[in-house]
Amino acid sequence: MIPATILVIAAIGLDLQWGKTGLFNAGVAAFLGVGAYVFAILTTGLSPPSGTNPGHWGPGVPFDLISATLIAMVVAGGLGVLIAIPTLRLRADYLAIATLALAEIVRLILRNERRITGGDTSVNLIPRPFDAIISRGWMSDGVFILVVVIIAVAVLIVMEALNSLPWGRALRAVREDEEAAQALGKNTFRLKLTAFGLGWGRMGLAGALEASFLGNIVPDIFVPALTFNAFVVVILGGSGNPRGVVLGAYVFALLGWGTQQLRVYVASLSDVLALRLDYINNIVVGLLLVLFILYRPEGIMPEKRYVPKKKD
């Protein structure tokens, strides 16, 4: 439930970029990592080296969770805008390559900048909401589910509101025909830059929630497979429809749970067969993705097309 809801937030950010604006961002994992590490460093404060632990940089006094989350969003979004300025003018396929390379660069920086991030050792003791009054366990998980769901609903409402504005319709115009949008006087570069910044800010929010939920993070959590998962969610649910993205995330989570239960059942029958099913989830998801692309590319809940009202 919690990982699926966090994935909803990240996928809504991707849907704004790819589903609404047509910008192929292959660097989702990078900005999840940026958000997670900014949140973790700010909330755990300065961690000096001790023994074999390199520690990590941080403020003298730890930030509260809300401030740290907002800063993580701003840093992820701001970094995204800075990177987008020179890359948005690239053609779609080159943009995808550039953002994919960016994701790997960010992961390597997180792993190797030991004085700032702690390197390949984990950042530990990352707090959750209400840690002071609720000990870790089922009750803490229940409270965290409630917090994450409220945040996801708020993100969805904001996204729906933005899509109904002329700004949202302008993004769709850029996606459908950028040259026509320019001819109508739209500043397409600014629109794409805004979509990238807001989308990456949402990914930073998802990363902060992921860090808080896990309690400790390492750079290798934020691998390119996270980007693949986000695209699967958007394609399954319906590209360009935030509500469809929500549905896609929970369908994706249900598939993961189902294949995991299958593996546990098979393991009870044969350890050899269980080893062969290590990647059953990836196989099932890959096949499902191919089927959707071939036979229902609009997803489970297709995007509602804007039809202008006729004047009397």
Termini Cα distance of the chain: 49
Q: Which residues pair with 53 in a beta bridge?
A: 50
Q: What pLDDT does residue 210 have?
A: 93
Q: What pLDDT does residue 66 have?
A: 92
pLDDT tens, residue by residue, 54-63: 778 888 788 8
- Give how far the C-alpha of residue 244 lies from the chain's centroid of Cα atoms, to the nearest Å: 16
pLDDT over 60 at 179, yes or no: yes
The rounded distance, in Å, linking the Cα atoms of 127 and 182 is 47
pLDDT over 90 at 149, yes or no: yes
Collapsing DSSP states into helix, strand and coil, what is residue 282? helix
pLDDT over 70 at 4, yes or no: yes
The rounded distance, in Å, linking the Cα atoms of 304 and 293 is 19
pLDDT tens, residue by residue, 82-111: 888 888 777 677 788 888 888 888 888 888
Phi, psi for residue 187 in degrees, rounded to 5: -85, 90
Q: Give yes or no for a contact between 88 and 196, defined as CB atoms under 8 angstroms apart.
A: yes
pLDDT over 90 at 32, yes or no: yes
Q: What pLDDT does residue 181 have?
A: 86
pLDDT tens, residue by residue, 186-239: 888 888 889 989 999 999 999 999 999 998 888 888 888 888 889 989 988 888
The rounded distance, in Å, linking the Cα atoms of 245 and 195 is 17
The rounded distance, in Å, linking the Cα atoms of 181 and 253 is 37
What residue ranges do the domains of the chain occupy?
2-221
Compute CA distances 307 → 169, 176, 241, whole Å.
11, 15, 16
What is 42-56 written as a DSSP string?
HHH--B--BTTB--B
pLDDT over 90 at 148, yes or no: yes
Q: Which of 222-231, 241-250, 268-277 bottoms out in mean pLDDT, i.e. has the lowest? A: 268-277
Length of the chain: 312
Angle, helices 188-214 vs 138-164, to 10°: value is: 170
